[in-house]
Structure 1
Amino acid sequence: MAVEGRLDLPMVGERQSLREQVAHALRAALVAGEMRPGVVYSAPVLAGQFGVSATPVREAMLDLAKEGLVEAVRNKGFRVTELSERDLDELTEIRQLIEVPTVSRLADAARADDFERLRPFAQEIVDAAERGDLLAYVDADLRFHVELLTLSGNAHLVAVVRDLRNRARLYGLSQLSQRGTLTDSAREHLALLDALKSGDGEAVRHIMGKHIQHVRGIWADPDAE
């Protein structure tokens, strides 16, 4: 079984709770691919790198476990969850079934103001992609999609999609950013808002479906074109 190596983790301060800061830093390491699937990470070892006690690290790892990002390994630590190609396909299929029809039904020129309020979030995704800030990209991307789905008025649907997106983490982001194609994916959010504002449900359906499949295809296979 693979054992943890030393990670380039930041020291944490006291403005937020240590648990929140550690969880945020660990998510960043996951997104950047520094924490690898299948590898077991020890809370005491990570705590030493953070410069904190093991307790907030264990608490943060338990938070990540609830999100499906890691799993506890008895008497050893936490292992980054591995997702198979089949897992990714199934999660993508569920997202397509839920998000595409839900978002396409929102298309309505009379709701232009609602969609315009989401434009700063969409632009934030593009800006983060352009500067290569992967964690900011992930945060903005999740916020955009959650806020958009919230317009449906179905809180349970939003919770389900949030969980799906957490489980199907963003794969290959660092490679995508290095190749300069992350910005192209980011701009799809702006195109989606334009279609929603115009009331073109078919265009929304096409863009949303393409975007989800685009995410599945390229992020799961960083070498895909």
Structure 2
Amino acid sequence: MNFPEYAGHGGGVPEAQTRGQFIKAAYSYLAVAVLLFAVLSFGLYASGASFAMLKMLGASKWAWLGVMGAFMVVGWLATNAADNSESNSVQMLALGGYVVAEALIFAPMLAMASIIAPGAIQAAAIATLALVAGLTFTAFTSKTDFSFLGGFLKIGGLVAIGVIIAGVLFGFKLGVWFSGAMILFAGACVLYDTSQIIHHYPADRPAGAALHLFASVALLFWYVLRLIMSLTGNDD
């Protein structure tokens, strides 16, 4: 694959080669992160920990808020470390910690899916991979720099968090339409992060770039899975 030249440099061959190496490294880290997430998720499911977590969270609506709050803090710490540290080891540690956090927050959802919608996890995984592949192809083959999406995504993310918190506090269900909207939002995040990797993300931080893209892919998988569960009519 021919990679575009790194925006902000003079367009010489060395910069283009460096950018290409960075992109390959970032996607290598992403592949390892996805594999680690799959292994951890399977381990939590096979050990019964996923079902224990589902039972614990089902006991109180406040438990989900606590998990979401903790996850946001972990996400902020991980991305901050990956974006600002010059140490590759720290960046890799941040990526690994974030993957572990994602596996833990997904654990009860995967347990629920296995109960109410057998086969939903596999279907969601395939659909997510197909969507990510399509968005990646679009970003790499299009001449468009999708950085302009950044401002819209920040606002959309805040609105989504507000709706989720309101849903937990006031007990209304976030159904098919919300999941659909969040799939569009997560897809835009994947497109934005891919464009950042191609054009703008610092070339000395491939693990950090992989962390951002992994977070967007995980968000997409979460809401694709929720949508499939909702369509069964059993996602209570």
TM-score of the two chains, using structure 2 as the length reference: 0.31
More RCO (CA 8 Å, sep 6+)? 2
TM-score of the two chains, using structure 1 as the length reference: 0.32
Pick the structure with more strand per residue: 1
